[in-house]
Amino acid sequence: MGLSIGKLLILGLIGVVVWYGFKFRRRIDTVRRAFAREFAKGRPPPPPPPRVAAAVDLVPCERCGAYVASRGASPCGRPDCPWRG
């Protein structure tokens, strides 16, 4: 298990590949951060996420059987609608 010239060259080559890989990765991160800063300068802040509506219980209408909100239901226009305003 001695160290021959071939093994040393392969080990050195692996070291160089790893070294340049880290340099390349660092350069990509630097460019990405620069683009993000430039992008953020010219843009307004993003709008807030839309609010999620709360769940509403539905009940069947006594007259037509359509499901309507249990609170705050609006009339459907039928003369016998139980939710006349």
Statement: residue 84 has pLDDT above 70: no
The pLDDT tens digits for 13-43 are: 999 999 999 999 999 999 899 888 877 787 7
The pLDDT of residue 17: 97
Instruction: Check: CB of residue 57 under 8 Å from CB of residue 69.
Output: yes
AA letter at 5: I
Sorted by sequence, the CB contacts under 8 Å of residue 71 that are 6+ apart come out as 56, 57
Residue 59 bridge partners (DSSP)? 68
What the block records as the tokens of 19 is 């070294």
